[in-house]
Chains A and B, each alone.
Chain A
Amino acid sequence: MSKVRVLVGTRKGAFILTADGKRDKWEVSGPHFGGWEIYHVKGSPVDPNRIFVSQTSGWFGQIIQRSDDGGKTWDTPGGEKMPKPGEFPAGGSNKFVYDATPEHGKPLTTHQWYDGTQHPWEFKRVWHLEPSLTDPDTVYAGVEDAGLFRTTDGGKSWNELAGLRGHGTGPQWQPGAGGLCLHSIILDPKDPKKIYIAISAAGAFRSDDGGKTWKPINQGLVSSHIPDPKAEIGHCVHHIAMSPKRPGVLFMQKHWDVMRSDNGGDKWTEVSGNLPTDFGFVVDVHAHEPETIYVVPIKSDGEHFVPEGKLRVYRSRTGGNEWEALTKGLPQCDCYVNVLRDAMAVDSLDSCGIYFGTTGGQVYASADAGNKWAPIVRDLPAVLSVEVQTLQ
């Protein structure tokens, strides 16, 4: 029988929630890495028992953890092995060094700071880990300050794909309120050379050659703070999503506005429609219905909680514009949580399961595509990310 494994990153550790295909009885394991901020936990589609974790701390910096047994045991890739006498210690699994070599053009040393001056690129943490669709040893990492890294040795060492920062607009990127973070990475299942990423507050970008070269894909986005309607960058993209069943059709939750693109990001159109507010962080797509999408509207950029004290997931079955509120099983009074950008996921069972976590520490699940919801757990630390694995 199928199983699902929900991987939850929180402000104070990681949790693994498991259930059978009915998804009504859950086992909770954790906290793993208690006390550390866990920005993201994601399993390899090729080897589901291989799970990667971004573990961070203001004191101790960035750690990458890996499990090869579905989260029972963990190791820092390469760092677990005692070096032989005279051998330099590995410890490269947490080493993210920006590539500023002359081979990649002029040195990539600064980006725009909040006050308009140039500021050195400084690595802070890994926001998102995206395991390869074909190779269990290859993973992409989106980091703050914004850059894209890749490992091809299971996380032992990481190298920057410097063509992204170096494509030309990098010095104009500036941080959003949460930092200059690369938070979304989408790999195209039909075209292994196509990669989509998004950065707050630079925008969305696409590579058509496996990450060597990049171009901004932000035409059609409108942001009130940017006077130029054709501005290539500067948009605060909060998240992007794509159905693996229909590559090239992208959905975006921007700072304000829900958007879609039917041509790989070349042109975006707004699909906010009848949403009560089009500010928000998450957006995701039904596993089997590429026109069914989900968002959680948030009151405003100044008030990061759901409007009217009601936690409502909004679903569109028409690819946007026409939205319905999904409320059954969700609190409808005195609720003031947020759902952060990586904190929603869908499973691939026949009746598609939807999962999301809140800054109040609840993780909700729906086994029927959003019609009814129930909490899996209610009192975790603030949830930063939710991913789900469908296991056979």
Chain B
Amino acid sequence: MIKVVLPPHLKTLAKISGDVDLEVSGPVTQRSILDALEARYPMLCGTIRDHGTLQRRPFLRFFACEEDLTHESPDAPVPADVASGREPFFIIGAIAGG
């Protein structure tokens, strides 16, 4: 089970209060995590990555295990501790905003 931590605005939008536990089938990558997240919470489609290109939205970043994974390939395996559920996958939305 993968644990995902969403920024507060996306929790409100998805009508959830805590973190998200996701079942991800196959290799655990950024793409498979986001696919599973959007499948479970369709209202999040387009808020983290573009509808068409699936590119990450510019002001969002991905962190896990004290590492910035933002610029890793979406198809690269995430750290083993994320894949095993020991560490959460963070989606951070507040780095910029001025």
Which residues of A come within 8 Å of B, CB atoms?
Answer: 35-36, 57-63, 76, 78-83, 88-95, 97
- For chain B, the count of residues having a C-beta within 8 Å of the partner chain is 24
Say whether B9 contacts A59, CB under 8 Å.
Answer: yes
Q: 0/1 per residue, B14-44, Cβ < 8 Å to A?
A: 0000000000000000000000001111111
Which residue of A is nearest B48, CB measured?
Answer: A60
Q: B76 at interface (Cβ–Cβ under 8 A)?
A: no
- Picked from A35, A59, A92, A93, the residue with its CB within 8 Å of the CB of B60 is A59
> If A57-B9, A58-B59, A91-B38 touch, does A63 touch B45 (CB 8 Å cutoff)?
no
- Picked from A82, A90, A94, the residue with its CB within 8 Å of the CB of B47 is A94
Which residue of B is nearest A64, CB measured?
Answer: B43
Say whether A90 contacts B42, CB under 8 Å.
Answer: yes
Q: B86 at interface (Cβ–Cβ under 8 A)?
A: no
Say whether A89 contacts B51, CB under 8 Å.
Answer: no
Expressed in whole angstroms, the Cα–Cα distance for A128 and B13 within the complex equals: 21
Say whether B9 contacts A95, CB under 8 Å.
Answer: no
Closest 4 CB pairs of A and B: A91-B45, A79-B43, A89-B42, A91-B42
**Can you identify 12 A-B contacts, CB atoms within 8 angstroms?**
A35-B9, A60-B47, A60-B60, A61-B47, A76-B43, A89-B39, A90-B45, A91-B44, A91-B45, A93-B43, A94-B46, A95-B51
Say whether A60 contacts B57, CB under 8 Å.
Answer: yes
Say whether A62 contacts B42, CB under 8 Å.
Answer: no
Q: 0/1 per residue, B64-98, Cβ < 8 Å to A?
A: 00000000000000000000000000000110110
For the A-B complex with A60-B47, A80-B43 known, give 4 more contacts whose Cβ atoms are closer than 8 Å: A60-B60, A83-B42, A91-B44, A94-B46
Dominant secondary structure at the B interface: loop
Say whether A89 contacts B13, CB under 8 Å.
Answer: no
CB distance from B78 to the nearest CB of A (A): 21
CB distance from A54 to the nearest CB of B (A): 14
Say whether A58 contacts B9, CB under 8 Å.
Answer: no
Which residue of B is nearest A80, CB measured?
Answer: B43
B52 to chain A: which residues have CB within 8 Å? Answer: 97
Say whether A59 contacts B45, CB under 8 Å.
Answer: no
A89 to chain B: which residues have CB within 8 Å? Answer: 38-42, 45
CB distance from A74 to the nearest CB of B (A): 10
Say whether A60 contacts B10, CB under 8 Å.
Answer: yes
A60 to chain B: which residues have CB within 8 Å? Answer: 9-10, 13, 47-48, 57, 60, 93
Say whether B45 contacts A62, CB under 8 Å.
Answer: no
- Picked from B9, B42, B96, the residue with its CB within 8 Å of the CB of A79 is B42
Which residue of A is nearest B51, CB measured?
Answer: A95
Say whether B59 contacts A95, CB under 8 Å.
Answer: no
Say whether B57 contacts A61, CB under 8 Å.
Answer: yes
A91 to chain B: which residues have CB within 8 Å? Answer: 38, 42-46
CB distance from A90 to the nearest CB of B (A): 5
A79 to chain B: which residues have CB within 8 Å? Answer: 41-43, 45
Expressed in whole angstroms, the Cα–Cα distance for A92 and B44 within the complex equals: 10
- Tell which of A59, A76, A93, A95 has the most Cβ of chain B within 10 Å: A59
Expressed in whole angstroms, the Cα–Cα distance for A89 and B7 within the complex equals: 21
CB distance from A36 to the nearest CB of B (A): 7
CB distance from A248 to the nearest CB of B (A): 38
> If A60-B9, A63-B13, A95-B51 touch, does A78 touch B42 (CB 8 Å cutoff)?
yes
